[in-house]
Amino acid sequence: MNDFLNYINSINPINEDALKEIQQCFKPKQLLKDDFFVKEGEYAHQIGFLKKGIVRAYFLNQKGKEYNKQFFVGPSIIGAYTSLLTKQPNKIAQQALTDCEILVADFNEMEKLYDKFHDLERLGRKIAEFYFLEKEQKEIEMALLDADKRYLIMRDRFPAIELILPQYHIASYLGISPTQLSRIRRKLKNS
C-alpha cells in the first residue's frame, strides 16, 4: 500500500482524511500474465494502481490486427480512462504482459470523493493533465521522428521491456511491422 501512497503524494500531496478514504477504496488483486484488466466492448468501471508488472493497452484495426498503444510499467495508474470518463463502451483493452500486483477501486466511488475533498479533485486534475502531456509527447514524436528514432527513445524509456516482450509487440507500439523493426535493428547494428 505504501508504494501507492508515495505515488499519489508525488503527484499531489493529500490530506489525512482524504488519504484514509481512498485507501479504503483500493483492494489488492493479482493479475496473471495474459489476464485482462479491462476488455474491449465492456463498460469500464475500475481504476487500478499497478504496483509491479507490465500492462499493455491495445486496440484492433479493421482487419483485426493489434496495435499496441501504450505500455504501463509499475508503478503506474491503469484503467480505461476514456471509457471511465465518457461512460461509453471501452475501445482499448488492457492486458497483463507479465504477472502483476495491482490495487483496484471503483472509479465512480472515486469520482464521488471529488465533491468531498478538494485535494482529490486536484489530484484528478493533475492526473488528467499528466495524461494529456504524455499524449502530446507521443503525438509529437510520431509526427516528427521516423521509426528508427522512436525505437531508440522507446528502448531508453522502457529498458526492461525489450527483454520481456516479443518483438512484434514492440513493432506494433512503434506503429511499424515486425519486418520493418528487423530492418531497423540490422541497420543500427551495422553502424
Partner DNA sequence: CGCTGGCATTTACATATGTAAAGAAAATTA
Partner DNA sequence: TAATTTTCTTTACATATGTAAATGCCAGCG
Q: Considering the complex, state which of residue 17 and residue 146 has its C-beta at the smaller distance from DNA.
A: 146
User: Which one of 67, 136, 167, 188 is in contact with DNA (CB under 7 A)?
Assistant: 167
Asked if 1 touches its own copies (CB under 8 A), the answer is: no
Kindly identify the residues of this chain, within the stretch 42-101, that bind DNA according to CB under 7 A: 65
Q: Tell me the three state secondary structure of residue 69.
A: strand
Q: Considering the complex, state which of residue 86 and residue 167 has its C-beta at the smaller distance from DNA.
A: 167
Parallel/antiparallel/unpaired status of strands 36-38 and 27-31: unpaired
CA atoms within 13 A on the CB side of 158: 21
| DSSP codes, 79-114 | S-HHHHHH-SBP-SEEEESS-EEEEEEEHHHHHHHH
Phi, psi (degrees; rounded to nearest 5) at 36: -95, 135
Q: Note the residues at the interface with its own copies (CB under 8 A).
A: 59, 61-62, 67, 69, 81-82, 85-86, 91, 114, 118, 121-122, 124-125, 128-129, 131-133, 135-136, 138-140, 142-144, 175
Q: Note the residues at the interface with DNA (CB under 7 A).
A: 65, 146-148, 166-168, 175-183, 185-186
